[in-house]
Amino acid sequence: MFISKLAPIYMTGLIASVLASPLETLAVHTEGQALAKRAEGIHLVNCRTYSLVVYCSNDSNCNFFPSDANKCVPTKGILTWEIPNGLCAFNTGESFHWNIRSNAQSQENYSVVGSGNNNERGFVIRKDDKHVMFTDPNNGEQCSSIYYAV
């Protein structure tokens, strides 16, 4: 009886705290696993023969080959992402700058390894687990997320 009287009070407080939290901007991590990435995000991606910077307006729905406006090729071939002052310019006029520590690949998955920014705001860069994000429909190459910025 006592618990049933407290449940509505507890639920009201829980709902209020959830609504007050900016869930869209959080990347939730627990026990080394990424549970969700729910925000605008940028992935630094390696395919078999080339690298891409991929912009995702909703990072929790970003596992498909990007449109021309949402991808940028920073260099020919595979890029080593662990550099200061990395830059890629999208054909929309947007650009993404990044700084990733030289030892970033030796860090745990999902740990903070650098920072980045576009024309609007700053991003925290985390090491990703190299999961396959998409397959390039033009050549069949699988493309994996090496780092992500949210």
Question: 118 pLDDT band (50/70/90 cuts)?
Answer: very high
The pTM of this model reads 0.75
pLDDT digits over 33-74, tens only? Answer: 444 446 899 999 999 999 999 999 998 889 999 999 999 999
Residue 83 contacts by C-beta under 8 Å, 6 or more apart in sequence?
Answer: 99, 100, 102
Note the pLDDT of residue 9: 39
Give the domain ranges of the chain. Answer: 24-149
Note the pLDDT of residue 15: 36
Which is higher by pLDDT, 36 or 143? Answer: 143
Note the pLDDT of residue 35: 42
Cα 114 to Cα 116: distance, rounded to the nearest angstrom: 7
Of 118, 109, 114, 111, the C-alpha closest to 144 is: 109
| Percentage of the chain exceeding pLDDT 70 | 75
Of 98, 57, 39, 58, the C-alpha closest to 74 is: 98
Which is higher by pLDDT, 109 or 35? Answer: 109
